[in-house]
Chain A
Amino acid sequence: MMKNKKYSWLSPTLAIIFGFLLWELIAFLVKKPIIPSPSLVIYSLCTKYAAKVGLCLLASLGRVFAGVALAALGGIICAMAAVFSDKMEKTIYPIIYLLHPIPKIALLPVVLLLFGLGESPKIFLIFLICFFQFALSARDAMKAVPESNRVVFKSFGSSNLQEMWHLFLPASIPALLGGLRLSLGTAFSILFFTETFGTQIGMGAFILDAWMRVSYVEMYGGIIVLAVAGGSIFGFTDIIQKHYTHE
């Protein structure tokens, strides 16, 4: 068991190395600029435009974190309202059920017209994508808290606020992390789209700009950075969940 845990990094590392070798082989066989070799992409990324891509990545991650944080806050507030009041649940959740299935990308033109081309439409769209997922998964997790836990809290004379803080919020963390994982992929895709409109700094703008200049090496560099950033966030949520659930 200990041996397995010690070498748990080995399988994903080998998979990544295999992926890069496969890409290298395809690039060698195709011999076209549209598929540059990964070694060239990574070399150029590290030597030529690391600073620029770093700045773009920071800007994009800032937008993602702001949108996700607002969505988590909104989702938790809705879930808590639903747990403590049936009336609130019956008022809020039918609206969430109606709005959740709407593809959020369809709202992009409306959001751009309403909020302009600044930071707010990008953050708002990420908020929209993650909020419904958070509101639903947090509500379900809080409703699944065993009655016995609540009874123990009440027997100690707890207030609703103490129950929220010490019971319902911690109980919903694994579900919130699950919701985050589900919505993060879509959030990154939408971020890419929004950053292609009137944006100077951002991974979407960086990749689109490289594409327009037919700089495929740079474009692939941006894609790799975006993939690594997304993968790292997924890995980070896994680490938090493992630490939290003591697996």
Chain B
Amino acid sequence: MLSLTNVSFTYPNSSLPVLQNISFEVSGVCAVLGPSGCGKSTMIKLCAGILTPDAGNVLLYGKPINPKEINVGLIPQDGGLLPWLTVEENTALGQKIKHQNNKAKVSQVLERLGILALKDCYPGQISGGQKQRVTVARALCMDPSLLLMDEPFSALDANTREEAQDFLREITKHNYNITTLIVTHSVEEAAVLGTNILVMKKGRIIKILKNPLKGYNEPRRQNCFYELCDSLRCTMKDKQDVI
């Protein structure tokens, strides 16, 4: 359970607040939807414990988030893979930093994600979709309590993106205990991935809703998928008051 209470944040060299009085509580998979520059990535960094809020609290199961103490899996927008390390070494990066050595776990995660055969390849030698799997493997390898994804599929083409979304749904379905926050500016992505959807605008939350598509195996084929997408688009365009 991830909870943010009255969280505000302003970057040191700026006078404009990026996040203003954010409060929500989520478990399972939560999609954070909003246009570019609305503070989604900053929220991810706050949830990862990389930034400290100016006001309010960010808690995971009631405790402040300290990446040295708990395992956080973070997947940034461009994946953040190190080009000089192999797929296997990139996957084991968290273990290396935390002075752990569990090669069996690395192999197990790579196999589960279907990329064990690529373990000796370098990021420059594999496709965009495969790279995305490596970033997920790197995050899952640490058995994270919190999984944070910052527009993880934005660099992929439409087909690969859909495949990656389905793959992620499969992964999160079998990891109920991991609280997952997926930041996206794509309405469709939020509708497919989130069990809860949180809509942000100008540093504030303007809507939180439960995804009616939760539980469907093929959410894109449901009639309510398009209704949900339209509704989310309207919410993003609305100038309604924040909640």
Contacts from A to B (Cβ < 8 Å): 146-149, 151-158, 162, 166-167, 170-171, 173, 244-246
Residue B156 at the A interface, CB < 8 A?
A: no
B178: shortest Cβ distance to chain A, in Å?
14
B38-54 CB contacts (< 8 Å) to partner A: 45, 48-50
Q: Contact: A146 with B142, CB < 8 Å? A: no
Chain B residues with CB below 8 A from A246, complex form: 83-84, 122, 124-125
Residue B129 at the A interface, CB < 8 A?
A: no
Chain A residues with CB below 8 A from B94, complex form: 156
Q: Contact: B50 with A155, CB < 8 Å? A: yes
Q: Which of A148, A155, A158, A245 has the most CB of B within 10 A?
A: A155
Residue B212 at the A interface, CB < 8 A?
A: no
Which of A148, A156, A162, A171 meets B76, CB within 8 Å?
A148
Which residue of the partner chain B has the closest CB to A145?
B82
A/B interface sample: 9 pairs, CB < 8 A: A148-B76, A151-B45, A155-B48, A157-B98, A166-B93, A166-B97, A245-B83, A246-B84, A246-B122
**How far apart sit A166 and B82, CA to CA, in the bound complex (Å)?**
10
**How far apart sit A149 and B84, CA to CA, in the bound complex (Å)?**
12
Q: Contact residue range for chain B?
A: 20 to 34
**How far apart sit A246 and B85, CA to CA, in the bound complex (Å)?**
10
B141: shortest Cβ distance to chain A, in Å?
10
Chain A residues with CB below 8 A from B80, complex form: 146, 148-149, 151-152
Q: Contact: A156 with B124, CB < 8 Å? A: no
Q: A170-B82, A244-B84 are in contact. Are A156 and B98 (CB under 8 A)?
A: yes
Q: A162-B97, A244-B84, A246-B122 are in contact. Are A155 and B67 (CB under 8 A)?
A: yes
**How far apart sit A144 and B142, CA to CA, in the bound complex (Å)?**
28
Q: Tell me the interface secondary structure of chain A in the complex.
A: helix
Chain A residues with CB below 8 A from B83, complex form: 245-246
Which residue of the partner chain B has the closest CB to A152?
B80
Q: A156-B93, A156-B142, A246-B124 are in contact. Are A149 and B82 (CB under 8 A)?
A: yes
B57-93 CB mask vs A (1 if < 8 Å, else 0) is 0000000001111001110111110111000000001
Residue B112 at the A interface, CB < 8 A?
A: no
B125: shortest Cβ distance to chain A, in Å?
7
Chain A residues with CB below 8 A from B67, complex form: 154-157
Q: A170-B84, A246-B124 are in contact. Are A153 and B79 (CB under 8 A)?
A: no
**How far apart sit A171 and B82, CA to CA, in the bound complex (Å)?**
9
Which residue of the partner chain A has the closest CB to B79?
A148
Q: A156-B67, A246-B122, A246-B124 are in contact. Are A151 and B74 (CB under 8 A)?
A: yes
Chain A residues with CB below 8 A from B48, complex form: 151, 154-155
A113: shortest Cβ distance to chain B, in Å?
44
Q: Contact: B74 with A155, CB < 8 Å? A: yes
Which of B72, B77, B125 meets A155, CB within 8 Å?
B72
Q: Contact: B78 with A152, CB < 8 Å? A: no
B86-127 CB contacts (< 8 Å) to partner A: 93-94, 96-98, 122, 124-125
